[in-house]
Amino acid sequence: MTARAGRGAGGLLRAAPALTVGAFLLPIAAGLAGTLLPAFGYLPAIGGDALGLDGFRRLVAYPGFASSVAVTLTTGIATPLLAVAIALALCAYAHGRPWQQRLSARLAPVLATPHSALAIGLAFLLAPSGWIARLGSPWLTGWTLPPDVATVGDPAGIALVLGLLVKEVPYLVLMIVGALNQVPAREHVVVARALGYSRTQAWLKVVLPQVYPQIRLPVYAVIAFSLSVVDVALILGPTNPPTLAVLAVRWFTDADIDFYFQAAAAATLLLAIVIAAIAGWYGLELVVIGAGRRWIAQGARDGALAAGARAGAAGFCALSAAAAAALAGMVLWSFAAQWRFPAALPQAWSLANWMRRLDGLAGPALTTLAVGVLATAIALALVIGCLENESRSRHRAGPRALWLLYLPLLVPQVAFLFGAQVLLVRLGFDGALAAVVWAHLVFVLPYLFLSLADPWRSFDPRYARSAASLGASPARVLFAVKLPILLKPVLIACAVAFAVSVGQYLATLFAGNGRVATLTTEAVTLAAGADRRVIGAYAVAQAAFPLLAYVAAVAIPALLYAHRRGLGGRG
């Protein structure tokens, strides 16, 4: 009897990988089709029944088309280049230093904070009338009025690049630190230094070539994200014209449905740009690898690199300081009654922003919580199903599965979310909370899988064997042995997933058809110009949610296992 029941559950488990892949491949595939077809004129529901290039013609005829493409390309390529350079420089610099071990823990707060919350904070920090200018005025700058300089929303997109770097650099650093654990970095650097190479050189020449293949996909994800980001571009990016992704969203959401065709064309063009950019980057990799080999073979032991690594590390510190100041500024605003240029701090304080907004905040906060918890729970069930199936059948997914997993992070969101929305409307499912949960699942799943896979796979299988020989069924082994021992990584993965869900802007906007309001959609909408005190409250709430999830993920196991030294407690 037990054996048969076990087999039934096993069947469900064997279906887990297919279910998981289906859960996010289906909407992406359907969504891409639903974007590509209208781009070429096919959308019968609104009278498009002939294939043609009219959408593209209208897109090209848009007065700001050329500058929009140009600024999309410059910001979308500058960001990954700078992000990779700074992240590598920092890791090279950090190698072997006492604080290297604490690096990933230090990154958690920034990684948890939604992009848009940081961008909102940066917008205030950097504006000509912003916090930096206020701190130095008028005693240093002589400004009694803010200068007329575009430091936010500048046509070149510098503020946008900065806003992206603040999050993308820590993300890459985290990926590099993870990859470093899988290569004998310390030993190799020791060997190289004994051969006369400096620490930085040793790292770049010996460790980096081993690490890069493992961060390749994350780098591609950064490229795709930088080219197609919407929320950060809305807040910090140029406006007249904006980037291609913002343009596509603006047209998709226009009351005049005629704009759908050129919106779909813009999204399709963006998809092509992303594919070309990744291909171009791959080509660049080949060139750099070739040149790098020659460089390494030359055996030069010059010292200029250390300065570069220091500069990168300094850049990282500046970005971290900017992120911290951005959030601090929003906290101050949320408690400000009045704060005018050039006062360095609010001139009057008040709790009213929180007390009076509580009603308005509560709805979106609850929705955020519900969507985040549901998406995380479903994703967790699927991911555990996949990983458990993998460890029971002892058949590990190959590198192709990893590409599949990264797909939602590589395909521009605008390119499939609109098509997915059309599908949802067709099913009468749009605007439902369930639709939003599904859309979030597409992005939550990969992150949850990526953060849980390593700890799960390195779980000592003999625990399970020993439990089985004691008579425990596979289900009991999973729930009474594996999950409790892996509680901390499971909760951390959940916190990552929850943070990803909280940060979703476009997915919520499209799947919710504008009717499901989360803290992020509200904050981004408000960022367009509402009362900064209210924006502050929303940005703080938005950042607080994932941070609290992280704190819980660390605190719960610590409390539960306070007396279990084997799990990090004090015994």
- Residues making contact with other proteins (CB under 8 A): 2-3, 6, 62-64, 67, 127-129, 145-146, 148, 150, 153-155, 238-241, 255, 337-338, 340-341, 360, 393-395, 460-463, 465-474, 476-477, 480-481, 484-485, 487, 514, 528-533, 560-561, 563-567, 569, 571
Find the shortest distance in angstroms from Cβ 470 to other proteins: 4
Q: How far apart are CA 52 and CA 512, in angstroms?
A: 30
Find the shortest distance in angstroms from Cβ 404 to other proteins: 23
Query: Distances from the Cα of 522 to the Cαs of 109, 363, 365, in angstroms?
Result: 22, 11, 10
Q: How far apart are CA 85 and CA 305, in angstroms?
A: 12
* 67 token code pair: 């500058």
Maximum pairwise Cα distance, the chain: 84
Find the shortest distance in angstroms from Cβ 531 to other proteins: 6
Complex with other proteins: residue 182 or 239, whichever CB lies closer:
239
Question: Cis peptide leading into 138, omega within 30 of 0?
Answer: yes
Find the shortest distance in angstroms from Cβ 93 to other proteins: 36
Find the shortest distance in angstroms from Cβ 246 to other proteins: 11
Amino acid identity for residue 507 in this structure: A
Complex with other proteins: residue 235 or 319, whichever CB lies closer:
235
Complex with other proteins: residue 240 or 458, whichever CB lies closer:
240
Q: Count Cα neighbours of 538 within 13 Å in the Cβ-side half-sphere.
A: 28
Complex with other proteins: residue 353 or 451, whichever CB lies closer:
353
* 113 token code pair: 């904070």
Complex with other proteins: residue 440 or 533, whichever CB lies closer:
533
Complex with other proteins: residue 341 or 354, whichever CB lies closer:
341
Instruction: Enumerate the β-bridge partners of residue 43.
Output: 48
Phi-psi region at 192: left, alpha or beta (left = phi > 0; alpha = psi -120 to 50): alpha
Q: Are 440 and 375 in contact (CB under 8 A)?
A: yes
Q: Are 412 and 274 in contact (CB under 8 A)?
A: yes
Complex with other proteins: residue 230 or 442, whichever CB lies closer:
230
Find the shortest distance in angstroms from Cβ 481 to other proteins: 6
Complex with other proteins: residue 428 or 571, whichever CB lies closer:
571
Find the shortest distance in angstroms from Cβ 397 to other proteins: 15
Complex with other proteins: residue 472 or 548, whichever CB lies closer:
472
Complex with other proteins: residue 148 or 302, whichever CB lies closer:
148
Q: What is the dihedral of CA 489, 491, 492, 494, to 10 degrees?
A: 120
Q: In this structure, are strands 336-338 and 48-49 parallel, antiparallel, or unpaired?
A: unpaired
Q: Which of 258, 177, 171, 269 minimizes the C-alpha distance to 220?
A: 171
Range 372-411 burial, b when 16+ CB lie within 10 A, else e? bbbbbebbbebbbbbbbbbbeeeeebeeebeeebbbbbbb
Complex with other proteins: residue 100 or 129, whichever CB lies closer:
129
Q: How far apart are CA 568 and CA 565, in angstroms?
A: 5
Complex with other proteins: residue 65 or 171, whichever CB lies closer:
65
Complex with other proteins: residue 214 or 473, whichever CB lies closer:
473
Q: Which of 237, 227, 82 minimizes the C-alpha distance to 166?
A: 82
Complex with other proteins: residue 2 or 298, whichever CB lies closer:
2
* 116 token code pair: 């848009």
Find the shortest distance in angstroms from Cβ 140 to other proteins: 17
Q: Where are the alpha helices (DSSP H) in 49-64?
A: 54-61
Question: Cis peptide leading into 342, omega within 30 of 0?
Answer: yes
Helices 103-112 and 158-180: crossing angle in degrees, nearest 10, is: 140
Instruction: Enumerate the β-bridge partners of residue 349.
Output: 336
Complex with other proteins: residue 303 or 461, whichever CB lies closer:
461
Find the shortest distance in angstroms from Cβ 6 to other proteins: 7
Find the shortest distance in angstroms from Cβ 230 to other proteins: 14
Find the shortest distance in angstroms from Cβ 388 to other proteins: 15
Find the shortest distance in angstroms from Cβ 157 to other proteins: 12
Q: How far apart are CA 472 and CA 466, in angstroms?
A: 9
- Burial grade of 11 (CB within 10 A; 0-12, 13-18, 19 or more): exposed
Instruction: Enumerate the β-bridge partners of residue 49.
Output: 42
Q: How far apart are CA 480 and CA 501, in angstroms?
A: 29
Find the shortest distance in angstroms from Cβ 342 to other proteins: 8
Q: Which of 94, 289, 314, 308 minimizes the C-alpha distance to 205?
A: 289
Q: Where are the alpha helices (DSSP H) in 185-303?
A: 185-194, 199-202, 208-228, 231-236, 244-252, 259-298
Find the shortest distance in angstroms from Cβ 217 to other proteins: 27
Find the shortest distance in angstroms from Cβ 441 to other proteins: 26
